[in-house]
C-alpha cells in the first residue's frame, strides 16, 4: 500500500511545473503590456513637461519685460532728478556769485 506522502508528490511536482510555466507566460505578456504602459506614461509626462516649460518661458518673458520697464523707469526718473538737481544747484551758485 502507498502512503499518503507518496501519492501527493507527483501532484505537487505537476503543480509546481504548471505554476512555473504559467508564471513565465504571464511575465512575458506583462512585459509587453508594461512596456506599452511605460511608453504611454512617458509620452504623457513629456507632453506635460513641454507644456509647463512653454508656460514658464512665457511667464518669465513677461516678468523680464516688467523688470526692464521698472528699472528703466527708475533710472530715467533718477537721471531726470539728477539733472534737475544739477540745474537748481547751478542756478543757486549763479545767484550766489552774482549776488542775487
pLDDT in tens, 20-30: 888 888 877 77
Inform me whether the pLDDT recorded for 1 exceeds 50.
Answer: no
**What letters, b where the CB count within 10 A reaches 16 and e where it falls short, cover 37-63?**
eeeeeeeeeeeeeeeeeeeeeeeeeee
Predicted pLDDT at 78: 57
Predicted pLDDT at 94: 73
pLDDT in tens, 30-86: 777 777 887 898 899 999 999 999 999 999 999 888 888 877 766 555 556 667 767
Predicted pLDDT at 25: 83
- Which segments of the chain does DSSP mark as H helices, in order? 4-98
Structure confidence at residue 3 as a pLDDT band (50, 70, 90): low
Q: What is the model's pTM?
A: 0.40
Inform me whether the pLDDT recorded for 17 exceeds 80.
Answer: yes
Return the ∠ at Cα 28 (arms to 22 and 32), rounded to 5°: 140
Amino acid at each position: 500500500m502507498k502512503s499518503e506522502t507518496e501519492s501527493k508528490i507527483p501532484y505537487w511536482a505537476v503543480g509546481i511545473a504548471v505554476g512555473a510555466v504559467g508564471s513565465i507566460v504571464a511575465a512575458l505578456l506583462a512585459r509587453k503590456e508594461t512596456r506599452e504602459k511605460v511608453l504611454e506614461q512617458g509620452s504623457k509626462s513629456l507632453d506635460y513637461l513641454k507644456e509647463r516649460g512653454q508656460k514658464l518661458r512665457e511667464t518669465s518673458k513677461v516678468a523680464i519685460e516688467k523688470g526692464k520697464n521698472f528699472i528703466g523707469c527708475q533710472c530715467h526718473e533718477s537721471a531726470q532728478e539728477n539733472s534737475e538737481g544739477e540745474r537748481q544747484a547751478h542756478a543757486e551758485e549763479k545767484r550766489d556769485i552774482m549776488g542775487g
